[in-house]
Amino acid sequence: MSRVAIVTGGTRGIGRAICERLRDERGFTVVANYAGNDDAARKFTDETGIPTIKFDVGDYDAVQDACQKVAGEHGLVDVVVNNAGITRDGTLLKMSYEDWDAVMRTNLGGCFNMAKATFAGMKERGWGRIVNIGSINGQAGQYGQVNYAAAKSGIHGFTKALAQEGARFGITVNAIAPGYIDTDMVAAVPEPVLEKIVAKIPVGRLGKASEIARGVSFLCSEHAEFVTGSTMSINGGQHMY
């Protein structure tokens, strides 16, 4: 039986790598969520054959409707990867409430909304996998990112609490905290700043999206049934604790 997986923010970067890995390595039926760029979504489907669905993960009702639509078209959702995330960087004194709220709504609220829409079904069927993509900056903090760091740190707490609720029903809930990965988001960092970041990574390079995808694939597999409430740090040794 093919499992059905939704990957939020799934059409590029880490999300795309996760979609392809879950399809190719796990044989899952994968649906990629995206929020805005219709042309990029069409290109993604043309290149991968993976269907997409457009909705805002921060919109509770939209998430409910979208998950019902996926269930109707592809099958009941067994696997959720909460990867969608945005940044609105700035120091606290310069950060608007709108920038705070947008990041919290998408990055942390999206995890709640997706879990709320799918958890009951997983419980009824006695099997489920939820993987939340946190961040090294949610573990260690980062100057100019009080919103992003708070949301990502919240994901790690959310993961531990929900894992306790799901454990006896065959639902595992885990997180991955990527370090700095060679994606478009990191590519936007000014070169002098990026050089300083890489200098602090013991392995001496940025990570690859495929390395995050391998971790997600393991946590979504039958082999990870005894792993729950865990955060897997994939950061090249940049932050150890």
Residues carrying an active site annotation: 148
What's the sign of the alpha-carbon dihedral 50, 59, 163, 182?
A: positive
Instruction: Please state, in angstroms and rounded to a whole number, the distance separating the CA atoms of residues 115 and 210.
Output: 24
Pairing of strands 29-34, 4-7: parallel
Instruction: Please state, in angstroms and rounded to a whole number, the distance separating the CA atoms of residues 56 and 27.
Output: 26
Instruction: Please state, in angstroms and rounded to a whole number, the distance separating the CA atoms of residues 129 and 81.
Output: 8
Instruction: Please state, in angstroms and rounded to a whole number, the distance separating the CA atoms of residues 230 and 212.
Output: 15
What own/partner pairs with CB < 8 Å and gap ≥ 24 does 32-40 have? Answer: 32/6, 32/7, 33/6, 33/7, 33/8, 33/9, 33/57, 33/66, 33/84, 34/9, 34/10, 35/9, 35/84, 37/11, 40/11, 40/12
Amino acid at 239: H
Helix (H, G, I), strand (E, B) or coil at 41: helix
What number of other Cβ atoms are within 10 A of residue 186's Cβ? Answer: 16
